[in-house]
Structure 1
């Protein structure tokens, strides 16, 4: 499976590879931002803890959706 993914990436144009890297970068940004909001207490956001956890979970779910869309578009 990994060999197929790597072979598929090599077939892509430079623009498609750049967009793939950009998609992975933004997936990681949303994931880390969600985790920071949830667990970093000194983050200067004045929110109740329940809303911090809800917002963090929302960002993590959004990053998972972006990742799944990225994987599905990579298989084509």
Structure 2
């Protein structure tokens, strides 16, 4: 799991990639939630497909989050 002490011992490149992974997790999560919640989107996609795509993006964000948190040091 995430340990702050090992985070501080990482190289700047590893820290950057870790933070970038968290940013991408947040991006996919927000995009998925936006697709589900936003009713009058400028893009015309059926509500069923929007919800399905939103759930898929949220699941993908969860997978990315677990991979970023459980990274092993080389």
The two structures have a TM-score, normalised by structure 1, of 0.89
- Structure 2: 5+ residue stretches without partners: none
- Structure 1: 5+ residue stretches without partners: none
Residue aligning to 2:25 = 27
Q: How far 1:44 moved relative to its partner?
A: 1.4
Match of 2:61 among 45, 60, 63: 63
Q: How far 1:42 moved relative to its partner?
A: 2.4
The two structures have a TM-score, normalised by structure 2, of 0.91
* 1:23-75 deviations in Å (ceiling 9; x for gaps): 000000000000001101122121111101000000000000000000110x5
Residue aligning to 1:72 = 70
Aligned residue pair count: 73
What stretches of structure 1 move > 6 A for 4+ residues in a row? Answer: none
Distance in 1, matches of 2:8 and 2:37, equals 38
